Every structure is written in structure tokens, then in C-alpha cells.
Amino acid sequence: MATLSFFQRESVVDQKWRLTLPSDIVDRENLSQERKVFFKQDKDGCLVMYFSKPMSAKVVGVEVNAAENKKAKTKSHRVMIPRELRSSMSFYFGKTLILADKGKCLSLWPRPS
């Protein structure tokens, strides 16, 4: 059973619309093996990322990709923001976001630059 931990962390989506996931989330949710997350828009128009498929017809599944940093000898796990969700309110101020961990999901909130 996963422990519930709440955090808020600033993150940036890169030029290719990839979001790097925090390593504690990757470890907690075992994303290096599951390799899939699901996005949907909440009632405010911001994105929510789920680690298991929610009971909703409007979810988009995305592969989790591991990229190896050979200098640091670490792996970062990234997800590509789907094209149809790039106009969500989460990106209202640009590609800088606040990730809010809610245990079973991450909320992506807009962050003014």
C-alpha cells in the first residue's frame, strides 16, 4: 500500500513537450515497470495525471519513457504531453508548472513565470 505524501514542486515542460517525473513518484508508483500514465482535464481545465486508468471516458494514456543521463549515471522518467491536451489551463502561463501530489494522481497547475 502506497503512503500518501503531499508535495508541491515546480517543474518545466521542455521544448518537445516532455515532463520529467519526480523520482520519488516513479519509485512509489513503480512507473519504471508499469510504463503508462493517464491524463484528463479537471473541471477547471487543468491536467491531472493518474497512475492507473480512472473510470472516465475522456482519458489519454501516455507511455513513460526512461532517458539515461550517461554523465550522472541516472535515469529520468518523462512523459510526453499529448497534443490534444497542450492547450489546457495548466499551460496558461507557459511551460512552467506546479506539480501537486495527491496520492493517486498529480495535478498540473499553471505557474506564472
What pLDDT, on the 0 to 100 scale, is given for residue 112? 87
Domains of the chain, start order: 10-110 (3.40.1550.20)
Bridge partners of 9?
99
CA dihedral 22, 26, 32, 33 (to 10 degrees): -160
Q: How far apart are CA 11 and CA 98, in angstroms?
A: 6
pLDDT of res. 102? 85
User: Out of 48-52, 64-68, 71-75, 103-107, which region has the weakest mean confidence (pLDDT)?
Assistant: 71-75
Per-residue pLDDT tens over the stretch 19-54: 998 888 888 888 877 678 899 999 889 999 998 888
Q: What is the DSSP string of 23-76?
A: HHHHHHTTHHHH-EEEEEE-TTS-EEEESS--S-SS-EEEEEEEEEETTTTEEE
